Structure formats: structure tokens, C-alpha cells
Amino acid sequence: MKYLVLGGVRSGKSRYAEKLAREYFSSNGLDEKITLIATATVSDDSMADRIQKHQNERPSHWATSEAPIYLARTLDALQAEEGTSLVIIDCLTLWLTNLLMEDDPAFLEIQIADFERAVSLCEKPLILVSNETNMGVSPLGELTRRYCDQVGILHQRLAQTCDKVMLVVAGLPLTLKSEK
């Protein structure tokens, strides 16, 4: 099971991804062994508040792993870990932002390729959360355009790998792809 959950800022995508994870365990009669890989970094007080809010809303028995840059390495490590049965990664667009701030196009490409490989090889249920940023006008500025291009390409590639792709708008999930 590989899900890609897309949505705008404050669309409810993280909450929906967490709901999917809980439903996976309840429908299979399993104990929740969930690890959330967080990619956000504290850059200002507002971001610190967002991170704290997300942490407070998650069940305390869920494990959290921080991976602002080396996402593939973290996902690979969780593959071998018996304490994790399902992985949520929140959020891919923050991870891409972190990579773009490194200002090394070769490093960016290596990390993206490694991550795509890790996703394709992941045998544990996986829920990927990302912002859909490309539904408006073309942005001004080279870095912003590069960001939007990278996000769009990554989403297209992951959508091919994932069994299910959802778009969350106003807290409501819309199925874009569903393979069973």
C-alpha cells in the first residue's frame, strides 16, 4: 500500500493521511506501529507553532523521525526496523524546499533519485503527504519556478509508483487514482 496525499496549505491533507493510517490498522486488526517522518525545520516562530500543533494532534505512541534532507536514508532505515509497520512522510514539499536551499542542483537530483528508489522498494505501507502548488499562475522568480517544476515532476513520478493518489480540498478527499 502506497498512498500519495496531495492538497493545498491547510487543506486537511495531514489529518487525512493520519486517518488513513489509523484505518489501515483498525481494518486489519493490528496494533498501531506508525512512524511519521517529519521534514519540516524550525525557521521562525510561525513554523515552530505549526510543528508543535502537528505534534500535539498526533497520538503519543506514534514514533517520529526527523529527516529534513536525507529522506531516502531514513526510509531505508525504517524498512529494517521491526517497530514500524506503516510510515507517513509529511511533507515532501518542505523536504524539496530544504534541498533547494542547499543550492546544489546535483545534490538535489541525487536526493530525489534516492528517495524515488526508496519509495519504489519500500515494502511497508507508506503514506506520502505533499502540497499541490501548481494549480495557479506561473510564479515569478527563478527559484520559485524551479521549486514548482521540481514539485510537479516529483508528484508525477510518485503518482505512477503509488497505488492510490488523493487530492484533499477543504478537508474532503478526492480520489485521483485508485488501484487495488
Task: Point out the residues that are catalytic.
Answer: 54
**What would the grid cell of residue 130 be?**
505533499
| 164 DSSP β-pair partners | 3, 178
Measure the CA–CA gap between 58 and 67, rounded to whole angstroms: 18
